[in-house]
Amino acid sequence: MEKILVIDDEKPTLSMFRLFLDAYGYRVYTAENGADGLDIFRKEKPAIVLTDIKMPGIDGLAVLPQIKKIAPRTAVIVITGHGDTDLAEQAVELHAVDFINKPIKKEALDAALEKARQELAAKGRNGDS
């Protein structure tokens, strides 16, 4: 079962992601802040990480390069609020595979997950490592 980590400071958003991703067959880990997310990442080494950009403490733009430093092949998808296009572009420059806007739409999540799976396949990383 492929591991996936979702980092977001909004509990309803985490619950929604857990619902979708459980249904898709992922082993889902969640964190309410960047520091906890990095701790879980180091322990579980998920192949895919979704992280909100704007969070108190360590935000998504700080989490992303740390994840890439630990495991460069990890596919990171950033979650943005409306009007955060500049931040999303910065995240892509930091090697995020894609970004999705809040409120999350199933179609956007599906497309981002497919892009992440394609990137992982191209890099030779499966979800079990």
Q: Which two tokens mark 62?
A: 């700080």
Predicted confidence at residue 41, as pLDDT, reads: 98
Given a cut of 70, the residues of the chain with pLDDT beneath it are 82-83, 125-129
Predicted confidence at residue 60, as pLDDT, reads: 92
Predicted confidence at residue 125, as pLDDT, reads: 62
Domains of the chain: 3-123 (3.40.50.2300)
Predicted confidence at residue 38, as pLDDT, reads: 98
Predicted confidence at residue 128, as pLDDT, reads: 40
Using alpha carbons only, what angle is made at residue 70 by residues 74 and 28, rounded to the nearest 5 degrees? 50
Predicted confidence at residue 87, as pLDDT, reads: 82
Give the whole-angstrom CA distance, residue 108 versus residue 113. 9
Residue that is written with structure tokens 């990480």 in the block: 49
Predicted confidence at residue 129, as pLDDT, reads: 40
Predicted confidence at residue 123, as pLDDT, reads: 83
Q: What is the 3-state secondary structure (H, E, C) of the chain?
A: CCEEEEECCCHHHHHHHHHHHHHCCCEEEEECCHHHHHHHHHHHCCCEEEEECCCCCCCHHHHHHHHHHHCCCCEEEEEECCCCHHHHHHHHHCCCCEEEECCCCHHHHHHHHHHHHHHHHHHCCCCCC
Q: Give this prediction's pTM.
A: 0.93
Question: Which residue, 39, 42, 32, is CA-closest to 6?
Answer: 32
Question: Which residue, 39, 44, 37, 40, is CA-closest to 2?
Answer: 44
Predicted confidence at residue 126, as pLDDT, reads: 54
